[in-house]
Homo-oligomer: A and B are copies of this chain.
């Protein structure tokens, strides 16, 4: 593993690291914020999964996350959103291929060779993090924005016991019924929709729910509301009696200004769930 940068930040350290990943068959880059406490003992870890077009860097620099992580003694990891590189399949559209991995393991060509983001974020990266940094494996929480909110919710529900709490900012809530989902699932997973439900937060919520609390924030002026379909998730949460909160925030759009505005609430929510 190679250290690309480390900056002192809110008394801790914001690092960027690169490593070869077996799962995706390419080099992967991630950001990791470690609070000052990590110099003394392992600390809990919050996962932040990013949205379409993002790399590891966007939320690391624009989401106001480190201040609140430091205040609560939490680490935050910022994985990339897809495999990368010249030898990795891509598409001219911003919402397919590099920058748009959708946190699934692709089974269809030309994607199957590298697009194994589910395996990367659920298995390989956790092992790398636990082996190399002062992190508590049994104290993890997860959040994300847009496509990353989809990733956070699906990982949290399909890996029971892994995360104490899950939250999301404007998640792609029902991709099986959205152009942010149908196109990508067809490409990555194939036309058989039976394979899609395992990657649809609203379907998973209806079926299994989450063993813990859920926090969802959605802006009422989000320019992508028709694609996100928050109503499907809100309905599923209520129908399942899922412990948690769904908040429609008046006037907010899909930008990082929205994410930053509620980051303190999300980090605080996870800190409480982690008993910090």
Residues of A participating in the B interface, judged by any CB pair closer than 8 Å: 7-11, 14, 61-62, 64, 66-67, 219, 221, 251-253, 255-258, 260-261, 264
Contacts and interface: CB of A to CB of B under 8 A. Distances in A.
Central interface residue in A14, A219, A260, by most chain B CB within 10 Å: A260
A9 B61 contact: no
A10 B221 CA distance: 14
Contacts of A255: 7
Say how many copies of this protein the assembly contains. 2
Contacts of A258: 7-9
Given A8-B257, A261-B10, A64 B61 contact: no
A257 B64 contact: no
A202 B158 CA distance: 60
A261 B11 contact: yes
B9 A264 contact: no
5 contacts: A8-B219, A8-B221, A8-B251, A9-B258, A62-B62
Nearest to A264: B67
